[in-house]
Amino acid sequence: MELPKEIVERVNQLEEKYSSMGQSLESYLDGLLLSNYLTYWDYTQVDTLLTLQNPKTDFPDELIFIIYHQITELYFKLSLHEFNQIANNGRHIKPNGHDLGWKNSLDVKFFTERVVRINRYFEALTKSFDIMVDGMEREQFLRYRMALLPASGFQSAQYRMIEISATDFFNLVDKDVRPQFEGKQASIEEMFPFIYWNKGATELATGKKTLTLEQFEKKYSEKFMALANEYKTKNLWAKYKALSQQDQQNPQLINALKELDVNVNVNWPLMHYKSAVRYLNQGQDDVPATGGTNWQKYLPPRFQKRIFYPELWSAEEKENWGKGWVETNVFRTR
C-alpha cells in the first residue's frame, strides 16, 4: 500500500527529529503502537485534582475556603506562565523542552497580549471574590479558622513571585525605607530584609515577627532572592525599558501595564480586604487574623502604596493610590 504524501512527509520529519538526538524512530513508533488512547480524565488529572481538598474540620463551608484558595493559586500559576514568556522572549523555558522553533524575540504585540492575559486572570479573580466575601457563613468561618492557625494566605509564594516578576525589586521595598536605597544600586540581598510584606507579619502585641512569617521565610526566602536576582533584567519593567523608544510609547502597552498595576495592587487587594472586613471586623474589637497581624493597618493599598510602575503615573495619581474605592466599595455594603 502506498502511503499518502502527507504521512511520508511526517515520517521523514519524525526521522529527522529523533535521529538528531541519536534516537531510533522505530522504537518510538513501537511505543506509539502500544500506548493507550488519551482520555479527558488522564489529561486533566481530574481524579487527582479532586483528592486535593482536605478540610481540617467538619464545617461544610471550609470546603469553599479551600477550593477558592486553590482556584486563586491556579490563576496565579497562569499569570506566572505569562510573565515567564515575556521574561524569556516568547519562550517558556522548560528543562526537557523540545525546540518547537518558537520565537525568540519580544515584539510589542506579543508583550501587550501577554500583559492583557494577566489582567484577565486578575479580573476574573477580583470579580469572583464575592465567593469569599458573601459565600460563607460568618459563624462557620470564625469557628473553622481556629483549626488553621497559624496558616495564612500571606504565605502564598506565587503571589510574591508575581510581584517579583512584575517590577524592579526596589519597588517592593517598604515605602518608608525606600528613600534610603534610592539611586544606590543596592543588591537584592541588601534590600530583602526590608521587603514590604514584613510589616504585615508583625505581632500586634510584641512587635515581633509572627510565626506565620518565620515559617514563610524558612521555606521561601532563598527561592525569592534567587528569583529576584534572575529577574533583575527580566522583570516586566526591565523588559519594557529594553523595548525601542517607539515601542515604549505604544498606548495599548502602556494601558495594559497601568491596568496590571491597578489589578494587582489595588483591585484584588481591596476585594481581599473586603473579605477581612466582613469576617474579622467587629467595630472597636477586631477579631485577630490567623496570622496574628495588624491587618487593618497593613492590607489597605492606600497604606501599602505598592506601585509596580511609578513612572507611568502622575504625582497626584500616586498620592491618591487606592483611595476612594475603599469608601464606595468596601464600607458602603456594611
Minimum distance, C-beta of residue 133 to ligand HEM, in the bound complex (Å)? 7
Q: Does 279 bind ligand HEM (CB under 6 A)?
A: yes
Q: Does 276 bind ligand HEM (CB under 6 A)?
A: yes
The dihedral of CA 152, 157, 163, 164: what is its sign? positive
Question: Which is nearer to ligand HEM, 67 or 243 (by Cβ)?
Answer: 67
Q: Does 68 bind ligand HEM (CB under 6 A)?
A: yes
- Near ligand HEM by CB under 6 A: residue from 10, 69, 103, 223: 69
Residue entry with cell 467538619: 58
Question: Which is nearer to ligand HEM, 149 or 254 (by Cβ)?
Answer: 149
- Near ligand HEM by CB under 6 A: residue from 55, 90, 153, 310: 153
Q: Does 275 bind ligand HEM (CB under 6 A)?
A: yes
- Near ligand HEM by CB under 6 A: residue from 280, 307, 326, 330: 280
Q: Which segment (166-174, 220-228, 239-247, 276-284) binds ligand HEM by CB under 6 A?
A: 276-284
Residue nearest to ligand HEM (CB): 153
Q: How many residues bind ligand HEM (CB under 6 A)?
A: 22
Q: Does 295 bind ligand HEM (CB under 6 A)?
A: yes
Pick from 142, 159, 156, 131: nearest CA to 290: 142
Q: Does 202 bind ligand HEM (CB under 6 A)?
A: no
Q: Does 126 bind ligand HEM (CB under 6 A)?
A: no
Q: Which segment (184-192, 251-259, 270-278, 320-328) binds ligand HEM by CB under 6 A?
A: 270-278
Q: Does 289 bind ligand HEM (CB under 6 A)?
A: yes
- Near ligand HEM by CB under 6 A: residue from 293, 308, 321, 322: 293
Minimum distance, C-beta of residue 147 to ligand HEM, in the bound complex (Å)? 15
Backbone dihedral region for residue 212 (phi beyond 0: left; psi -120 to 50: alpha; all else: beta): alpha
Alpha carbon distances (Å) from 108 to 176, 253, 255, 256, 313: 35, 7, 13, 11, 20
Interface residues with ligand HEM (CB under 6 A) are 68-69, 72, 132, 152-154, 156, 159, 197, 200, 272, 275-276, 279-280, 289-291, 293, 295, 299
